Amino acid sequence: MGSEENNEIKLFQDKKIRTKWDSNIEDYYFSVIDVIAVLTESKNPSQYWRTLKSRLKEEGNESVTNCNRLKLPATDGKMRLTDVANTKELLRIIQSVPSPKAEPFKQWLAQLGKERLEEIADPEQAIERAIQTYRNKGYSNEWITQRLRSIEIRKDLTHEWHKSGIKEGIEYAILTDDISKAWSGMSTREYKDYKNLRKESLRDNMTNTELVLNMLAEVSTTEISRNEKPQGLDKSRDVAKRGGSIADNARKDLEK
Residue 82 pairs in a beta bridge with: 70
Given this model, what pLDDT does residue 3 score?
Answer: 37
pLDDT exceeds 80 at position 4 = no
Given this model, what pLDDT does residue 156 score?
Answer: 93
DSSP-assigned letters across all residues of 114-141? HHHHHHHH-THHHHHHHHHHHHHTT--H
pLDDT (tens digit per residue) in 188-200? 989 989 998 876 7
Between residues 236 and 21, the one the model is more confident about: 236
Structural domain boundaries in the chain: 4-121, 140-255
pLDDT exceeds 60 at position 148 = yes
pLDDT exceeds 70 at position 1 = no
- For residue 72, which of 60, 85, 83, 86 has the smallest C-alpha distance? 83
Average pLDDT, the chain: 86
Task: State mean pLDDT over 161-172.
Answer: 90
Rounded CA gap, 8 and 212, in Å?
Answer: 23
Given this model, what pLDDT does residue 33 score?
Answer: 93
Between residues 76 and 103, the one the model is more confident about: 103
